[in-house]
């Protein structure tokens, strides 16, 4: 799968519920009941995706916020975005008006690569049954 680093992505709202809690994101795939967590830097990435930032903009922001290089941040963000696409949690989107940038802190925080954690232990309880109307309009039921 090819990734456009200057492209825009958005959450797959047709099948996804998400929330941010203290900077960490929790996502629930309503079709499968699988839930995900994006902690630390991954939560920051999710928030910037939701705010209409490109992969390149997200990587630049991570390099400014955390103790990492722009090249490492870009590689890590691209890997995370590819995983989010593979899990059908985000889709390509048209350019949007991005949110105003937040001020940078006085010092950079320690860096850890953003990762997506997947949990299937409650999928039977969290999946919608029957699914929402139109939920599988573009996809086969998994």
CATH number of the CATH domain containing 38: 3.90.930.60
Mean pLDDT of 19-32: 93
Which pLDDT score, from 0 to 100, does residue 128 have?
Answer: 61
Q: Residue 36: inside a domain, yes or no?
A: yes
Q: Residue 43: inside a domain, yes or no?
A: yes
What would the pLDDT profile of 38-96 be if each residue is shown by its tens digit?
999 999 999 999 999 999 999 999 999 999 999 999 999 999 999 999 999 999 998 87
Q: What is the pTM of this model?
A: 0.83
Which pLDDT score, from 0 to 100, does residue 95 have?
Answer: 87
Domain hosting 117: range is: 8-98+112-121
Q: Residue 128: inside a domain, yes or no?
A: no
DSSP class of residue 50 equals H
What would the pLDDT profile of 99-136 be if each residue is shown by its tens digit?
777 788 889 999 999 999 999 988 777 776 655 544 44
Measure the CA–CA gap between 133 and 56, rounded to whole angstroms. Answer: 35
Q: Residue 106: inside a domain, yes or no?
A: no
What is the number of other CB atoms lying within 10 angstroms of the CB of residue 87? Answer: 17
Residue that wins the pLDDT comparison between 77 and 13: 77
Number of domains composing the chain? 1
Q: Residue 107: inside a domain, yes or no?
A: no
Measure the CA–CA gap between 77 and 63, rounded to whole angstroms. Answer: 11
Which pLDDT score, from 0 to 100, does residue 140 have?
Answer: 44
Mean pLDDT of 7-28: 92
Helix axes 41-50, 55-65, angle to 10 degrees: 140
- The Cβ-side half-sphere exposure at 70, using a 13 Å CA radius, reads 6
Which pLDDT score, from 0 to 100, does residue 20 have?
Answer: 94
């Amino acid at each position: 799968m090819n990734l456009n680093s200057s492209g825009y992505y958005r959450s797959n709202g047709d099948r996804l519920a998400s929330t941010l809690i203290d900077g960490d994101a929790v996502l629930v795939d309503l079709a499968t009941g699988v839930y995900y967590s994006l902690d630390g830097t991954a939560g920051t990435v999710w928030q910037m995706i939701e705010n209409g930032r490109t992969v390149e903009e997200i990587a630049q922001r991570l390099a400014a916020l955390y103790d990492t290089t722009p090249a490492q941040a870009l590689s890590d963000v691209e890997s995370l975005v590819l995983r989010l696409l593979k899990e059908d949690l985000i889709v390509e989107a048209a350019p949007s008006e991005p949110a105003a940038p937040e001020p940078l802190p006085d010092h950079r925080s320690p860096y850890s690569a953003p990762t997506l954690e997947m949990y299937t232990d409650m999928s039977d309880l969290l999946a919608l049954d029957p699914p929402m109307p139109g939920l599988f309009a573009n996809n086969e039921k998994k």
